[in-house]
Chains A and B, each alone.
Chain A
């Protein structure tokens, strides 16, 4: 799953059958520092997110499974949560490199 900021809405009158009742939102995927990653995308909203909300999104088959009723629809990005609180340690706090040899973590 990943972060996304809602930037706007999209309306499609002619859509694939089964997706008529789904709300489309324009979202910008973000990383942990809330910096944009990649380009704007369209996600289906199932948690009543509004413009400006920071959300948790899910991709691929699991996005279709998040749909309220019909889950066999061509959807590949869904908003599944609205972030209320986000606590992330600064990037430099940890060492992310795997070193040769034995490394003990606990």
Chain B
């Protein structure tokens, strides 16, 4: 899983059935100091996250299918938590 910041929202009326009434958010992964922040992507929100939240994202299909309770879901990235605090000791 990775830490990321929610930076935007996506609305799609025409979409695959598995994406019906799912909230799509644009997320930007957090990086250590000095690295360039890129590699943004889209994730399904299952934790009521909003723009500006720092979230925990599962980027593996099996995890997404378990969270969505659908063994055939064509979804990879799912927001599974909203982060309150990070303690980085390195």
- CB within 8 Å of B: which residues of A? 1-3, 31-32, 46-49, 56, 58-63, 65-66, 71, 78, 80-89, 91, 93-94, 96-106
Contacts and interface: CB of A to CB of B under 8 A. Distances in A.
Contact of A98 (B3, B19, B41): B3
Interface residues of B, number: 51
Contacts of B14: 47-49, 81-82, 84
Contact of B33 (A84, A89, A97): A97
Interface string B5-44: 1011111111110110000101011111111011011110
B7 A93 contact: yes
B10 A83 contact: yes
Contacts of A87: 8-9, 51
B87 interface: yes
Contacts of B73: 62, 65
A78 B31 CA distance: 28
Highest count of chain B CB atoms <10 Å: which of A63, A89, A106: A89
Contacts of A46: 16
B82 to A, nearest CB: 7
A30 B82 CA distance: 26
A3 B8 CA distance: 13
A83 B28 CA distance: 18
Highest count of chain B CB atoms <10 Å: which of A60, A71, A98, A104: A98
18 contacts: A1-B75, A31-B38, A32-B8, A47-B16, A58-B75, A65-B74, A80-B15, A81-B19, A82-B13, A87-B9, A94-B7, A97-B30, A97-B35, A100-B89, A101-B88, A103-B86, A105-B53, A105-B85
